[in-house]
Amino acid sequence: MRKKKGVGPKSGVDFLPSSFWGVPASSSLSGPAEKRRGWRVKEESVIPQPCASVPIPILHGFDFQDSSQSSELQVRLVIAEKGLVCEERDVSLPQSEHKEPWFMRLNLGEEVPVIIHRDNIISDYDQIIDYVERTFTGEHVVALMPEVGSPQHARVLQYRELLDALPMDAYTHGCILHPELTTDSMIPKYATAEIRRHLANATTDLMKLDHEEEPQLSEPYLSKQKKLMAKILEHDDVSYLKKILGELAMVLDQIEAELEKRKLENEGQKCELWLCGCAFTLADVLLGATLHRLKFLGLSKKYWEDGSRPNLQSFFERVQRRFAFRKVLGDIHTTLLSAVIPNAFRLVKRKPPSFFGASFLMGSLGGMGYFAYWYLKKKYI
pLDDT in tens, 189-230: 777 777 777 766 665 666 665 555 555 545 656 666 677 777
CATH classification at residue 110: 3.40.30.10
Residue 50 lies in a domain: yes
Long-range contacts of 93-100 (CB under 8 A, 24+ apart): 93/18, 93/19, 93/20, 93/61, 93/62, 93/63, 93/66, 94/20, 94/63, 94/343, 95/343, 95/346, 95/347, 95/350, 97/1, 97/61, 98/18, 98/61, 99/216
Residues 235, 164: one domain?
yes
Using an 8 Å Cβ cutoff, are 300 and 244 in contact?
no
Average pLDDT, the chain: 71
Average pLDDT on 136-157 reads: 94
Residue 332 lies in a domain: no
Residues 192, 310: one domain?
yes
What is the rounded CA–CA span in Å between residue 323 and residue 81? 8
CB environment 206-221: b (16+ within 10 A), e (fewer): eeeeeeeeeeeeeeee
Number of domains the chain contains: 3
Residues 261, 378: one domain?
no
Lowest-confidence segment of 52-66, 111-125, 245-259 by average pLDDT = 52-66
The CA distances from residue 100 to 92, 93, 97, 139, 292, in Å, are 11, 11, 5, 40, 30
Residue 295 lies in a domain: yes
The β-bridge relationship of strands 13-16 and 56-60 is: unpaired
Strands, DSSP E only, in 114-163?
114-117, 120-122
pLDDT tens-digit map of 277-310: 999 999 999 999 999 999 999 999 999 999 999 9
Residues 186, 90: one domain?
no
Lowest-confidence segment of 18-27, 204-213, 259-268 by average pLDDT = 18-27
Average pLDDT on 30-50 reads: 33
Highest mean pLDDT among 39-53, 154-168, 199-213 belongs to 154-168
Residues 261, 165: one domain?
yes
What is the rounded CA–CA span in Å between residue 322 and residue 327? 9
What is the pTM for the complete model shown?
Answer: 0.71
What is the rounded CA–CA span in Å between residue 325 and residue 329? 6
Nearest by Cα to 86 from 63, 117, 113: 117
Task: Answer whether the bond into residue 113 is a cis peptide, omega within 30°.
Answer: yes
Range of the domain at 300: 151-279+281-321
Number of H helices, E strands in the chain: 15, 6
Residue 52 lies in a domain: yes
Residue 327 lies in a domain: no
Residue 344 lies in a domain: no
